Amino acid sequence: MKINNINKIYLDKNYVTNNPDWHSKDSDYKKNLIINLIKKKPKSILDFGCGSGDVTDKLAEHFNKTLVTGYEVSPIAYKLCKKKKEKPKI
């Protein structure tokens, strides 16, 4: 797949139209896969391509003394993540 096609998928509204929650429902499954790969408690974790930030948040909760950083290239996913962060937790 060419870079231009990848850019088109994540930078236009095509992906979010087909996946409005940016696969949030899969975040527990993905978090558990990552946790099972990690053998020692890490000092930091970089979630590259973090989407809407759900897996990043779950990793930060699990590894509560670890610096967990998410990076996302899609401005659409970034807006979804930012919107979740602005909601007060009840």
DSSP assignment of 42-74 equals -SEEEEET-TTSHHHHHHHHHTTTSEEEEE-S-
The model's pTM:
0.80
The pLDDT tens digits of the residues spanning 15-59 come to: 888 888 888 889 999 999 999 999 999 999 999 999 999 999 999
Query: What is the dotted CATH code of the domain comprising 3-86?
Result: 3.40.50.150
The pLDDT tens digits of the residues spanning 49-89 come to: 999 999 999 999 999 999 999 999 888 898 888 888 776 55
Place of tokens 């992906």: 15
